Amino acid sequence: MAVVGIDLGSQHTKAVILEKGANVVLIATSSGLAPFVSMLSTYLRFPAEGRVALIHGVRHSWDLGYRSILMVMEHLRTNLTYLPVISRPEEEPVAWKGATGHVQDVWKSGAIEKAWGLRPRPENTQVFICGSPRMSESMLELLGQQGFKEETKNEQGQIHVEKYWK
């Protein structure tokens, strides 16, 4: 087992215990990426057992903070998938060749299933969400339609949301 968590000093911070070999999807917009970079840096020190995917959505490619670090991490860990996505490709000075749209579009596209060779499901995947409230709410709805449940104080679930921004 491994203990992971999002810690931004908010009242909603929690630690999550993952079973050995658990798959994890980290979904962030903009600076919501910061706690995940810390989690991934720690993860690099442990044996690689489960799969990890990071979906990071921003408006422009130059807003992809930590991009070079995440690309190196992806190279070092074959079970780490980094999926950056931008929402305003028409404003790029050089044509963007990566995913466009929003993190929800990347989830729906099957990119994680393609990278992992299996579909993320509630019984095999924990999802962490950090970013704009609109994205968080949209992802909660989308994941809920697929059987994922948000973890609360009273109920276990597979979705862990950092609600530091209202």
SS3 assignment, position 125: strand
Report which residue type is found at 91: E
pLDDT surpasses 50 at 135: yes
DSSP 88: -
Q: Read off the pTM.
A: 0.89
Report which residue type is found at 69: I
pLDDT band at 12 (very low <50, low <70, confident <90, very high): very low
Q: How are beta strands 2-6 and 14-18 bridged, if at all?
A: antiparallel
Pseudo-torsion of CA 128, 86, 67, 31, nearest 10°? -50
> Would you state the pLDDT for residue 22?
84
> Span 62-74, mean pLDDT?
95
What would the CATH number be for the domain defined by 2-162? Answer: 3.40.50.80
Tokens of 67: 């991009």
> Would you state the pLDDT for residue 127?
97
pLDDT surpasses 50 at 8: no
pLDDT band at 166 (very low <50, low <70, confident <90, very high): low
Distance from C-alpha of 138 to C-alpha of 107, rounded to nearest angstrom:
11
* CB half-sphere exposure, 96, CA atoms < 13 A: 21
Strand segments (E) across the chain: 2-6, 14-18, 23-29, 52-58, 80-86, 99-100, 125-130, 159-162
User: What pLDDT, in 10s, does the model give residues 38-60?
Assistant: 888 887 766 667 899 999 999 99
pLDDT band at 10 (very low <50, low <70, confident <90, very high): very low
> Would you state the pLDDT for residue 4?
52
CB under 8 Å to 53, separation ≥6 — which residues?
24, 25, 26, 80, 81, 82, 83, 112, 115, 116, 120
> Span 69-81, mean pLDDT?
92
